[in-house]
Structure 1
Amino acid sequence: MPAIRRLYEVCKVSFNGKGPISEEALEHVRSCLDDINPSDVGLENEAQIARGWRLSMQGPNGRRVRNGSTLCPPPIKYLHVHECDEFSIGIFCMPPLSVIPLHNHPGMTVLSKLLYGTMLVKSYDWIDTEEPIDASQARPTKIVRDGQMTAPCGTTILYPTSGGNIHSFKAVTPCALFDVLSPPYSSKDGRDCTYFKKSRRKFSGALPGGIDASEVTWMEECQPPESFIVRRGPYRGQIVHNG
């Protein structure tokens, strides 16, 4: 069975409308995703380009804004593979310097596999406070990951309230990120994607014991930057589902 078809079949029995049915089922999906290669999804040529990329080749290949002074990241291509009520599968193909800004996956479990290339990853989790905080105001977060990922590497998992549910990606070389989300985004079910930025505002309430204020990054909701462009492209790999 082709690897992408096997992943689809495993997802069908591992997810329901609330996410993974068990940790064992989630690990089964992770194992299948670990086996996915660029050739399984029709991206072997792109992967070869990424493998031959040199840092000296990188330059200001973004587009300029109207005043001609600021470089904007190049657009990102999204390849839609499959979506149903229980899960979605898709691939983000990111040119060098492109950025997916800080965003979240509310109520969702997300598995991500870097198929090729190198990217910078920053991720955060909310810090629970002793006093309630207005969601429209700045909220405290703690860093989960701040570093570089280079393919080949294992699949990462983030959970609804842990593992770096608020995160951003910046492509260092051409790269592609294969995502499996369960359940998928759904505005009617309260699973909207929200974007965030670091805030200068501070909350005066008490933080949980053991957390120093210097370790906290305050985040507030924002609109995604105008330079953030995702274009849907054709998926050229093995067809997952015909119905």
Structure 2
Amino acid sequence: MGITTAVADRKGKECRELSRDNSVKTNGKSKKGRRRQKKMVPIQRLYDTCKEVFAESGTNIIPPPENVERLRAVLDGIRPADLGLTPDMQHFRSSVTQQYPTITYLHLCECDQFSMGIFCLPPSGVISLHDHPGMTVFSKLLFGTMHIKSYDWAVDDPNTSAANSSTAVPSGVRLAKVKVDSNFTAPCNTSILYPSEGGNMHRFTAVTACAVLDVLGPPYSDPDGRHCNYYCDYPFARFSVDGVSVPEEEREKYAWLEEREKPPELAVVGAKYRGPKLVEH
């Protein structure tokens, strides 16, 4: 999700070097190593898996399908208690004096290959429509009910590609196709989006208090061209464009997206993660 670099403590960006276990291995893995793996807390298992899955991470580099499924399986197995989270924590309460509910971001880790963090949303909290350029993103809803609306650009759709070169479309406005527009209630499967498909632009709206664990590979980076962009979305009927052929019954599947500045109503604050310890290496 975009916003992570605005609230995360980037002083821990460089991964620390730890000593490795050099014990004698049996059948490719030592007994001591197997015991350690069995006792490993879920957040550490997630970190170690990310280190391997995103070892060759870079802009528009998607991990192999077997690695995507491997990381998805680890995320699917994580529960709120594994991260020290409960719905009654202060992070998930709305203040009657606030016009827009404040979202709390718990920074877990960030290095050049990936980042991990938790978004804590009070009821009615909204993470505005934003994108993830050149990134593969895993989002795990830990608890609560959330509405997700996501889009992919419609440039590859043969019936709508003409819109991208039409002078009738205002500058900065592009046609997108709806990928997801539904409520999700935990427990549910981890969602995955890719650089050009899967719903790369999305908006999260908390129906109830909810928490989302996010893994981004690679993370946002302005120098590398991975800047978080925000958008307004408009119904397809908002603009009349010559050369665009979309059947009437399918027009709800499309929308016009216009890039905007970071929305003033998006209020995100950082807080210290106090769950089970994570050792970076």
> Given the alignment, which residue of 169, 183, 186 partners 1:151?
186
- Specify the alignment match of 1:216 in structure 2: 254
Offset of residue 40 of structure 1: 1.1
What amino acid is the match of 1:11?
C
User: Which of 76, 92, 109 is the equivalent residue of 1:82?
Assistant: 109
Q: 1:130, 1:208 within 8 Å by CA — same for their partners in 2?
A: no
**d(CA) in 2 for partners of 1:39 and 1:234?**
16
Contact 1:62-1:73 within 8 A present in 2 as well: no
Cα deviation, residue 197, structure 1? 0.3
Task: Provide the rounded CA distance (Å) in 2 between the counterparts of 1:214 and 1:113.
Answer: 27
Q: Normalized against structure 1, the TM-score is what?
A: 0.84
3-state SS in 2 of match to 1:100? strand
Structure 2: gaps spanning 5 or more residues: 1-39, 156-160
Q: 1:190 to 1:91 in 2, by over 3 A?
A: same
- Report the alpha carbon displacement of residue 205 of structure 1 after superposing the two structures with TM: 4.6
Distance 1:46 1:37, change over 3 A: farther
CA distance in 2, matches of 1:130, 1:188: 32
| CA distance in structure 2 between the partners assigned to 1:185 and 1:203 by the alignment | 34
**Whose radius of gyration is greater, 1 or 2?**
2
Is 2:147 the partner of 1:120? yes
* Whole-Å separation in 2 of the counterparts to 1:39 and 1:148: 23
Superposition deviation, residue 101 in structure 1: 0.8
CA distance in 1, matches of 2:108, 2:271: 10
Q: Deviations over 1:21-71 (max 9, x none)?
A: 311011100000011111111103548x98xxxxxxx9x85545xxxxxxx
Pick aligned residue for 1:198 from 233, 243, 249? 233
CA RMSD of aligned residues (A): 2.7
Task: After superposition, give the CA deviation of every residue in 1:87-113 in whole Å (9 maximum; x if it has no partner).
Answer: 100000000111001100011010000
Q: What residue identity is the alignment partner of 1:159?
A: Y
- Between Structure 1 and Structure 2, which shows a larger proportion of strand residues? 1
The alpha carbon displacement at 1:202 in A equals 5.3
Q: Matched residues in 2 for 1:107 and 1:96: separation?
A: 31
Distance in 2, matches of 1:209 and 1:171, equals: 32
**In the alignment, is residue 226 of structure 1 matched against residue 264 of structure 2?**
yes
Greater alpha carbon shift after TM alignment, 131-140 vs 216-225 = 131-140
Please state if 1:170 is matched with 2:209: no
SS class of match (1:10): helix
User: Which of 60, 63, 70 is matched with 1:21 structurally?
Assistant: 63
Q: Distance in 2 between matches of 1:96 and 1:240?
A: 29
Aligned to 1:44, which of 52, 72, 86? 86
The change in CA–CA distance for 1:214 and 1:233 in structure 2 (over 3 A counts) is closer
Deviation at 1:208, TM superposition (A): 8.6
State how far apart, in whole Å, the 2-side matches of 1:177 and 1:214 are.
Answer: 27
Distance 1:82 1:135 in 2: 40
Q: Which residue number corresponds to residue 54 of structure 1?
A: none
How far apart, CA to CA, are the structure 1 residues paired with 2:266 and 2:153? 24
User: Any unmatched runs of 5+ in structure 1?
Assistant: 51-57, 65-71
Aligned residue in 1 for 2:130:
103
Match of 2:219 among 184, 191, 203: 184
Q: 1:139 pairs with 166, 171, 174, which one?
A: 174
Q: Is the 8 A contact 1:33 1:155 kept in 2?
A: yes
**2:122 maps to amino acid:** P
